[in-house]
Structure 1
Amino acid sequence: MKLFKQVRHAAIALACGTLLINAHADEQVNGANSKWKVSIGPGVMVTPKYPGSKQYEALPLPSLDISYDDRFFSQGLDVLGVNALKSDAYHVGAALNFDFVSRKESADPRLHGLGNVDAGPKLKVFADYSVSLLTGSVALYQDIGGNGQGMQITTDLAANLPVTDRLLFSFGPGFTWANSVYARTLFGVSPQQSAASGMQAYDARSGVRDIHLNAYTSYDFTKHWSASLLVTAGWLQNFAANSPITERRMEWNGIAAVNYRF
């Protein structure tokens, strides 16, 4: 059971894009019957300045893994969430998620006239299921901040390898679908924007945004201290790849953190 929990936590971290610390070490610190799991520390996220950009930026952020009875949690970019249905093999729930994706005209002279796209909160609805060393997951993200970022659905499959009691590694493929609202806001160029920026008008429509490959690893230095790294390599597709806004079709995203377990 402990090995299964280690594998599953690594898989969810990989598939959902959040940094989680494995449950086995938490049990060592808090006791097997403790309902509270608390792990905090500093983190940094490296991401394109805007979708399709060839320039990157580093954003400092807290790394949180706080949960109660595997029911309520605050983990990674999920500010507050609940597992409405749960077992050792699956979770179904919802969370308030903060998405850092944005686009500022000041980020690149090419963007002048396109207007700004702000980052903001999203409603996340998710489900995951684990069988042996495999975990499948799906998550829907809906913009609730009025920033025009629409809806995205991400599906991932993770293969998990507990190398040692301290070292975990997971990897697997996935893809992201986006609706027309997201496509127009992040990759479309309206006639008005074209006139203001000089960029060719482009009608972006819903479809597969990207296919990607995730890799996640965590290492326990002691029973209290751990480090985690999540890297995603993505290849923009369809409306995202063909947009005149896009400078590079391949994009990298990464999150690294060091955590202390209480």
Structure 2
Amino acid sequence: MLRSCCVSLTSLCLLLPANTLRAEDWRYVLRAGVATASRYSGSTERAVVPLVGGEIVSPYGVFLDTEKGLGWAFDEDDFGLSVYVGASDVRKDRKTGFKGSDELNGMGSIKPRPVLGLDGTYQMGPIILGASLQHAMEKDNDDHDTGLSWNRLKLSISTPFYEGRYGTVTGSLNSQFGDRNYMRTWYGVSDAQASRSQFRAYDAHGGLVSRGAELTWAVPINARWSVSTVMAVQYLGKEAADSPIVDRRLQGSLAGEVVYSF
């Protein structure tokens, strides 16, 4: 859930540089802020975590982003496409700093592994349709319950509600889907995990992960500085919500960030 906040802010930045990718100069972005979100998807525990990151975009569309990874973006007229290689989300079964929860003791930590991503956008007037597909590779020599390869698809629709002297307010709706391995990794409880933890065994099947909404307020201060705030909610689908690790079906997050571009 914490990473979802970061990804939301990063996605906002990637939607903006349509003209940047055609520019003759390199573009650099530094971001700093703070977010509050659930410690893991379905948790009632919350954490406040600092957000620090950056992005480099070359004149040829190649970018390096601390959240997404290394990739290439193409944007022309109403169509945008980006591909990238990065690292997957993580989940710890111990409360460690800003991450993890002791409630997951015995479940095993979900460790990062390489992720291949493909994002696309299509604009129809004021409406932007988006699709994001991620494939996480299997982690070798890892626990079979937490190191499986998985696929996740996110579909979204967004539109600006306000554009004026106080910045831009954009609203969006989204649905997320995961295959069986994704659901087993993040919401399933195997017999081995059940024997080590407080949870009963649960065999999760692929399908709808969640439906959600986001509201983003971006305020430019000058040509280089801007401030953005993202409020997001996710309502877990039945297959995820029935998991014994899920205590709350409705998940919310709030993030604020200062952005410096040069």
Q: Which has the higher contact order (CA 8 A, sep 6+)?
A: 1
Gap change, CA 1:241 and 1:89, over 3 Å in 2 = same
Q: Any unmatched runs of 5+ in structure 2?
A: 1-6, 140-146
C-alpha deviations, 1:122-150, integer Å up to 9, x for none?
21111111121110010111113624361
TM-score of the pair, normalised by structure 2: 0.81
TM-score, reference length from structure 1 = 0.81
Pairing 1:1-262 to 2, within 5 Å after superposition = 17-20=11-14, 22=16, 33-69=23-59, 71-75=61-65, 77-83=67-73, 85-106=74-95, 107-144=100-137, 146=139, 147-148=147-148, 150-161=150-161, 163-164=163-164, 167-262=167-262
Alpha-carbon distance, 1:73 to partner: 2.1
Deviations 1:69-93 (A, max 9, x none): 362223462222112x531211123
Gap change, CA 1:255 and 1:206, over 3 Å in 2: same
User: In the aligned structure 2, how far is the partner of 1:176 from the partner of 1:71?
Assistant: 27
Q: Distance in 1 between matches of 2:101 and 2:71?
A: 35
Shift, 1:259, TM fit: 1.6
Task: Kindly indicate whether the alpha-carbon contact (under 8 Å) linking 1:175 and 1:208 is maintained by their aligned counterparts in 2.
Answer: yes
**Aligned residue type for 1:125:** L
Asked if the contact 2:150/2:181 (under 8 Å) is kept, the reply is yes
User: Percent of counterpart pairs with the same letter?
Assistant: 20
Q: Match of 1:194, SS?
A: helix
Compared CA separation, residues 118 and 18, structure 1 to 2 (3 A):
farther
Tell me, yes or no, if the aligned pair for 1:215 and 1:232 is still in contact at 8 Å: yes
Give the letter for the 2:107 counterpart. L
The superposition leaves residues 197-238 of structure 1 with CA deviations (integer Å, 9 ceiling, x where unpaired) of 242111101010000001112111122211112222000012
Q: Distance in 1 between matches of 2:168 and 2:15?
A: 10
More helix by share: 1
1:115, 1:124 → 2: CA distance?
25
CA contact (8 A) 1:175 1:212 kept: yes
Q: Check whether the contact 1:48–1:54 (CA below 8 A) recurs between aligned residues.
A: yes
User: Larger deviation: 204-213 or 223-232?
Assistant: 223-232
In structure 1, distance between residues paired with 2:15 and 2:122: 18
CA contact (8 A) 2:93 2:103 kept: no
Judged with a 3 Å threshold, the aligned counterparts in structure 2 of structure 1 residues 44 and 144 are, in CA distance, closer, same or farther, namely farther
CA displacement at 1:51 relative to structure 2: 1.6
- Over the residues paired in the alignment, what is the CA RMSD in angstroms? 2.8
Contact 1:177–1:208 (CA under 8 A) maintained in structure 2: yes
The answer for the alignment partner of 1:7 in structure 2 is none
> Residue 163 of structure 1: SS of its match in structure 2?
strand
Secondary structure of 1:184's partner?
helix
